[in-house]
């Protein structure tokens, strides 16, 4: 459809940005769209949703029309995960722009990414993040006041 409605359909198949964006959008839409029949009817739309249905069964959750009545928290959890997945790239861009705005250096972006990786590993290993953040803020504040 994107090729048919394009002003330059001859560029498709040769690395056209418009063609790449259309393929990426279709790919991402197909994955999230497959969750609708998987949750509502218990019918997997692809291999990923088949695995998700299997995991739901292992956790004692029956996908289908009754999932909304018997396990609404599971449905809301899945919907919130989709929202976080949509907003995550936007949040990442704002973090990078904010780090550049503070220092106007590329090093600031590297420091931001490094602390993001540290925070991820701390979260995965169960180390509490708030005391770490508080320690960094207090250390930076004490260096500025002295």
Task: Report the pLDDT value the prediction gives residue 146, as an integer from 0 to 100.
Answer: 58
Task: Report the pLDDT value the prediction gives residue 68, as an integer from 0 to 100.
Answer: 86
In tens, the pLDDT along 103-145 reads 888 899 999 999 999 999 998 999 998 888 888 878 877 776 6
CB 132 within 8 A of CB 122: yes
For 88, the token pair is 């995550």
- Rounded CA separation 70/3 (Å): 44
Q: How far is CA 122 from CA 50, 118, 126, in A?
A: 31, 6, 6
- Taking alpha carbons only, the member of 88, 98, 85 closest to residue 32 is 85
Q: How far is CA 40 from CA 27, 59, 86, 113, 127, in A?
A: 21, 17, 22, 39, 38
In tens, the pLDDT along 73-99 reads 888 988 888 888 888 889 889 989 999
In tens, the pLDDT along 3-13 reads 888 888 888 88
Q: Which residue has the tokens 């002295």?
A: 146
Task: Report the pLDDT value the prediction gives residue 145, as an integer from 0 to 100.
Answer: 63
């Amino acid at each position: 459809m994107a090729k048919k409605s394009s002003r330059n359909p001859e560029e498709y198949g040769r690395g056209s940005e418009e063609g790449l964006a259309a393929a990426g959008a279709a790919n991402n839409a197909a994955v999230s769209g497959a969750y609708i029949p998987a949750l509502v009817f218990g019918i997997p739309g692809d291999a990923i949703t088949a695995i998700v249905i299997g995991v739901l069964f292992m956790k004692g959750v029956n996908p289908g029309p009754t999932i909304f009545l018997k396990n609404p928290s599971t449905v809301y959890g899945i919907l919130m995960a989709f929202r976080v997945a949509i907003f995550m790239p936007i949040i990442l861009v704002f973090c990078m722009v904010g780090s550049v705005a503070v220092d106007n250096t590329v090093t600031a972006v590297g420091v931001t990414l490094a602390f993001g990786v540290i925070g991820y590993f701390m979260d995965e290993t169960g180390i509490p993040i708030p005391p770490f953040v508080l320690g960094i803020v207090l250390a930076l504040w004490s260096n500025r006041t002295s």
